[in-house]
Amino acid sequence: MDTTLLTVCVVVVTLAFVALVVQAVLTLQQLRHTAKAVEYLALNADGKLTALDPVIGAVKSVSGAVSSGWFKLAQTVYGLFSRD
């Protein structure tokens, strides 16, 4: 009786371990594929991102204007005249 229970437990543990190993191998294969895709994207995106430098500069200047005192003053003046 004890031998049968022990055998069943060993078989279940072995099957669980095999399933874990198979899942780990599949996950590592997907991780390798994803790493290759990220590397390809990083190599090809370098030239395209430098083309966006003027746009990024414009966004920085607009955000600087928004956070400056002139914009806050304009909001205050607009708030004074827009009240009913």
Question: Are both 38 and 58 inside the same structural domain?
Answer: no
57, 33: one domain: no
Q: What is the mean pLDDT of residues 32-45?
A: 90
Q: Do residues 41 and 63 share a domain?
A: no
State how far the Cα of 64 lies from the Cα of 72, in Å rounded to an integer.
Answer: 12
Which amino acid would we find at residue 49?
L
Task: Please give the residue range of the domain that contains residue 37.
Answer: 1-49
How many residues are given for the chain? 84
Give the C-alpha separation, 80 to 53, whole Å.
38
**Both 33 and 65 in a single domain?**
no
pLDDT at 53: 77
- Round to whole Å and give the CA distance between 50 and 47: 5
Q: Specify the higher pLDDT residue, 7 or 84.
A: 7
Same domain, 44 and 9: yes
Average pLDDT over the chain reads 84
If you ran DSSP here, which 8-state letter would residue 51 be given?
Answer: T
Percent of the chain with pLDDT over 70: 88
Q: Give yes or no: residues 43 and 61 share one domain.
A: no
- What pLDDT score does 66 carry? 67
Count the domains in the chain.
Answer: 2
Least-confidence region, from 8-12, 14-18, 25-29, 39-43? 39-43
